Structure 1
Amino acid sequence: MNIEEFLKLIREGESERIEFKSRVTKDIHKEICALANAYGGYIIIGVGKDGKLIGCNAKEAREKISQSLLSIIPPVRIKTHVIKIDNKEFLVIEVPKSNTLCTVGGVAYIRVGNSIRPLSIHEIIMLSTELGALTWDEVPVEPFNNAKREYIEWFFDAMEKARGRKIPKEDWNRYLRSIKAVKGDKLTNAGVLFFTDVETMPHAGGRIIYMRGDEPIATKEFHGPIWKVIDEMFNELERNFKWLEVTVGAKRVRIPEYPPRAVREAIINAFAHRNYTISSDVRVFVYADRLIIKNPGGLMPGVDLDDPEHVPRNPVLSQLLYDSGYIEKYGYGIRMMRSECKKHGLVEIEFKAGANTFEVIFRKKTEELLDEEDKIILELLSEPKSSGEIERVLGLSKPTILKRLERLINLGLVKKLGSGRSTKYVRA
């Protein structure tokens, strides 16, 4: 770290990732633990709370910190940087985000704002699941008798169709135990999600939210076993896909506004890899110009979006989805979605990973569908106009104008106002 980077941190001030200390305090190990369990960050020794540069004995501070690190389990591999300004020394402790849950004396701490606090039991479970330290879906929770027989029959029938693997009925229970959908006489969380109506987990379903601008105008919720929720959510979206006319070679063809296979894969991934300890459902936001599929739970440690590998947060659930044909092959989903969007040609895809969320964004490349007359119409519709007014400017027939307006509406570029003879159109 150089002086410019150091001064930039000072200018930023204290935050969730930056802590100022005039000296090494006796609870410095808790501060390091809390940062490691959150987003990582910096502790700067020799700076007052107001950002005043006080200075410190960097060698002495480093020795004290080395001693304090011994009480953090598992160890945090910090980096330290000594900065000298005007004969004053400052010690910068660079704390990485930990891939495991760190504790001090058996207590896990986390940084919230400018302070630290112990994690609650629920937060420990949630964070452990997020870090892959706990496989939530393997935990036994409900009596096996709660499983619906028709759902079990559906699963083994789906496996035979998707994988060509026929399991004799007398071996069904043994197979479910072998993949940990059942433990002893209980369904695990994965078993509950697949073989019951999931009434004990109200946040395990999904919802589709239709948006107008930044305001929701309609919502539809979906509950039940997750394979059924996946099917129903995808069918609802596909049923409402608008169709676009494009020229391929010398032909005009109609294609759906989004690539169906990629959208279905995004929904499957959202349920397969979400963090079920977070009390939120999978949400799909439908905008005029984009589709966003958002699930609770960030990327698992070690997963790289540019070179994705199969690192399941829910290994049992992933196995059930693979057996029944929902997951085509492990580690293939992101590549396949990118490939499908490229083949579609009119949609670009973006993956956005947050601390506890993951989003797949399908965005229409509307500019590639516009010709000069479309662009003139959009210019005219900076203010509301009727189809007749557009017709007089362009000199095209009314049916042609109406067809163009319908296409621009489907692209999310124009909206219709009123009805009948008073109908007008305006740029969205």
Structure 2
Amino acid sequence: MNTAELTALLDRLRAEPRETEWLEFKANRHEPQVLGEYLSALANSACLLGKPRAYLVFGIEDGSHAVVGTTFDPHAETGKGRQLLSLWLSLGLHPNAGFETHIFTYQGKRVVLFEVHPAFDRPVHFYGKAYVRDGTSKTELAKYPEKERAIWHRRVDWSAQICEQATLDDLDPRAIAKARAEFTAKSPTQAAAVAAWDDTTFLNKAKLTIRGAVTNAALLLLGHPESTTLIAPAVTRITWLLKNERNEELDYQHFGPPLLLNVDAVLACIRNLTVRELPEGTLFPVELTQYDPWVIREALHNCIAHQDYGLRGRIQVVETPGALLLTNVGGFLPGSVEAVIEQDAPLEIYRNPFLAEAMVNLNMIDTQGGGIKRMFQKQRQRFFPMPDYDLSEPERVKLTLRGRVLDERYTRMLMARTDLDLRLIILLDKVQKRQCISTDDSKRLKAASLVEGRYPNLLVAGRVAAAVGEKARHIRDRGLDGQYYEDMVVALVREHQPVARADIDRLLLDKLPEVLTPEQKLNRIHNLLRKLAETGLIVNRGSRRWPKWIPADARHPAGKSKETNGSKR
């Protein structure tokens, strides 16, 4: 806002009869901690009252609303740890709904105005604690559970909000033309009507505008690149990164509105190479691209539709030689991927319902939902690894699409079997990737004779491995007979006594099952030595910390004790 707009705003605020839950006046500065608490309280109260903004003004006297000016300079102050105040405040607010700081001269006096965005579908905390306004007082939100519940349930659809400063001139004509074409492709029976509609009518029909008013969704999908300033602090950016095998960044590019056009620009950056090193035979194609274009597009459209724009994060597409990693901020609303896969009726849950409906109308996502399940089915049809969803972070979804065959020739064979359902194939895919599955899922795979081994160190069953030429790897994964390892240790001890634990480790580590972790291998060796000692085959002449193993019968050679053997007292 310019000075004239800020002056007009402050005139309106001072005209309020008194401070409110969304408005606070202060004569001069406050401690950084208290200032952060006020930002949290005002954001939460603005959400409860349905206000588009809340305000904290320094330089205006409380009660009389007299203009007294302030010496407070938020750009010169620091927070705890000597961080710049604005950075320290931003890091402490979670989620950071956004705030802007305006410093200007009003009636000849210096004033500082904080413009605070409302909380968005969850309370705003400041360094772990949420606050709220009770009348004109600031207090902890935890004291008002009904207000906290109201914030959680007051899910405001950011995408449906009107951008007051935007007009149709802020929309890209090329994007509107593309939207018309996609709308017609989605609803071919309306082609003649679409052609006759003017832009205002079409955008209303496509659910991008509301009675001609431009929404955040319209700016996101159709806006000029510079329209991002109109919907700040929300971040409407997709970043493509290219990295090599050493995770070094080789190239990058940023894409903003209009996303309806720029999704294709992102896809054009991805080097969708042809994979030629596939198993021989006629069952599988000789050449395949690394990624199915539909799968990438669906994954990227899901990121756009489910992004939590209130968290001010960006969508990322990271390309490595063998995979694509797509991330968006915001929790995974269905809860689990399994719920999506197993649900007979697809889950139709969107964080941004207005945006999602517009994307349906523009042929970007399926009106019936089920896009995630179809992605798995597409990968199954191509005999490529299943998509990997990482939901370990509460406010971030990570999806990995692998564009390279791992060691899963057996998985391809299983995929060719029509008697296996998709859920079973996904479990087998996790096993071949060394990912943990539940004990119930392990029992299910074992009942079908598809895996063997002791949970959680499962491996593909021997008969399956033999069918796909993985016999050698199967033996390496399973390991050899226990007696084989015992005989090796006893032979080493007899030949080279005394033998240290490090010598035994060097003998066995590369021979134990490859499916075990290094720690599990060391534990296996420890248990083996304990068993040999208990059965009387070897003994420890050293200490527990520094063992020296010898054969058990070496303690009494020629029938003499160690003390009298070849020595005199």
Matched AA of 2:156:
L
Report the more deviating stretch, 193-202 or 155-164: 193-202
Residue 400 of structure 2: SS of its match in structure 1? Answer: strand
Report the more deviating stretch, 206-215 or 330-339: 206-215
Structure 2 residue aligned with 1:292: 325
Is the contact between residue 222 and residue 260 of structure 2 (CA under 8 Å) also seen in structure 1?
no
Structure 2 residue aligned with 1:77: none
Q: CA deviation at 1:128?
A: 10
Matched AA of 1:314:
N
Match of 1:352 among 367, 390, 403: 390
Residue 349 of structure 2: SS of its match in structure 1? Answer: coil
Deviations 1:246-265 (A, max 9, x none): 23526761001223321221
Is the contact between residue 262 and residue 337 of structure 1 (CA under 8 Å) also seen in structure 2?
yes
Mapped partners of 1:299, 1:307: distance in 2: 11
Residue 226 of structure 2: SS of its match in structure 1? Answer: coil
Q: CA deviation at 1:231?
A: 1.1
Match of 2:263 among 230, 238, 241: 230
Structure 2 residue aligned with 1:306: 338
Residue 387 of structure 2: SS of its match in structure 1? Answer: strand
Call closer, same or farther: CA 1:297–1:101 in 2, change over 3 Å.
Answer: closer
Structure 1 residue aligned with 2:354: 316
Matched AA of 2:155:
A
Match of 2:377 among 334, 339, 344: 339
Structure 1 residue aligned with 2:226: 199
Mapped partners of 2:324, 2:195: distance in 1: 42
Q: CA deviation at 1:187?
A: 0.7
Tell me which stretches of 4 or more aligned residues in structure 1 moved more than 4 Å: 127-132, 369-372
Match of 1:264 among 297, 301, 306: 297
Residue 366 of structure 1: SS of its match in structure 2? Answer: coil
Higher relative contact order (CA 8 A, sep 6+): 1
Mapped partners of 2:285, 2:195: distance in 1: 51
Match of 1:135 among 115, 137, 157: 157
Mapped partners of 1:131, 1:340: distance in 2: 36
Deviations 1:64-86 (A, max 9, x none): xxxxxxxxxxxxxxxxxxxxxxx
Mapped partners of 2:237, 2:398: distance in 1: 17
Match of 1:147 among 171, 180, 185: 171
Structure 1 residue aligned with 2:129: 116
Call closer, same or farther: CA 1:157–1:259 in 2, change over 3 Å.
Answer: closer
Is the contact between residue 315 and residue 327 of structure 2 (CA under 8 Å) also seen in structure 1?
yes
Write the mapping of 1:14-413 to structure 2, written as runs, cut at 5 A: 108=123, 110=125, 112=127, 115-118=128-131, 133-141=155-163, 142-164=166-188, 165-166=190-191, 167-170=194-197, 172-177=199-204, 180-201=207-228, 203-212=235-244, 213-237=246-270, 239-246=271-278, 247-249=280-282, 253-300=286-333, 302-308=334-340, 309-353=347-391, 354-363=393-402, 364-368=404-408
Mapped partners of 1:355, 1:320: distance in 2: 27
Q: CA deviation at 1:303?
A: 4.6
Deviations 1:263-313 (A, max 9, x none): 22111111121112222221111123322111122222x554223311111
Is the contact between residue 130 and residue 313 of structure 1 (CA under 8 Å) also seen in structure 2?
no
Is the contact between residue 170 and residue 224 of structure 2 (CA under 8 Å) also seen in structure 1?
no
Mapped partners of 2:261, 2:196: distance in 1: 22
Is the contact between residue 129 and residue 277 of structure 1 (CA under 8 Å) also seen in structure 2?
no
Matched AA of 1:138:
A
Which structure features the higher share of strand residues? 1
Is the contact between residue 244 and residue 257 of structure 1 (CA under 8 Å) also seen in structure 2?
no
Mapped partners of 1:315, 1:196: distance in 2: 19
Q: CA deviation at 1:153?
A: 2.6
Call closer, same or farther: CA 1:356–1:109 in 2, change over 3 Å.
Answer: closer
Is the contact between residue 143 and residue 187 of structure 1 (CA under 8 Å) also seen in structure 2?
yes
Call closer, same or farther: CA 1:201–1:210 in 2, change over 3 Å.
Answer: same
Mapped partners of 1:128, 1:218: distance in 2: 45
Residue 218 of structure 1: SS of its match in structure 2? Answer: strand
Matched AA of 1:359:
K
Matched AA of 1:149:
P
Matched AA of 1:244:
R
Mapped partners of 1:324, 1:129: distance in 2: 32
Is the contact between residue 121 and residue 151 of structure 2 (CA under 8 Å) also seen in structure 1?
no
How much is the aligned-residue C-alpha RMSD, in angstroms?
3.6
Matched AA of 1:199:
E
Is the contact between residue 183 and residue 206 of structure 2 (CA under 8 Å) also seen in structure 1?
no
Call closer, same or farther: CA 1:138–1:179 in 2, change over 3 Å.
Answer: farther
Q: CA deviation at 1:219?
A: 1.2
Structure 2 residue aligned with 1:396: none
Residue 310 of structure 2: SS of its match in structure 1? Answer: coil
Between Structure 1 and Structure 2, whose CA radius of gyration is higher?
2
Is the contact between residue 273 and residue 312 of structure 1 (CA under 8 Å) also seen in structure 2?
yes
Deviations 1:349-387 (A, max 9, x none): 111223221111123441136989xx9xxxxxxxxxxxx
Q: CA deviation at 1:149?
A: 3.2
Mapped partners of 1:349, 1:368: distance in 2: 14
Call closer, same or farther: CA 1:321–1:128 in 2, change over 3 Å.
Answer: farther
Residue 367 of structure 1: SS of its match in structure 2? Answer: coil
Call closer, same or farther: CA 1:109–1:293 in 2, change over 3 Å.
Answer: closer
Identity of aligned residues (%): 17
Residue 287 of structure 2: SS of its match in structure 1? Answer: strand
Call closer, same or farther: CA 1:277–1:101 in 2, change over 3 Å.
Answer: closer
Is the contact between residue 129 and residue 313 of structure 1 (CA under 8 Å) also seen in structure 2?
no
Mapped partners of 1:345, 1:130: distance in 2: 42
Mapped partners of 2:285, 2:151: distance in 1: 50
Structure 1 residue aligned with 2:566: none
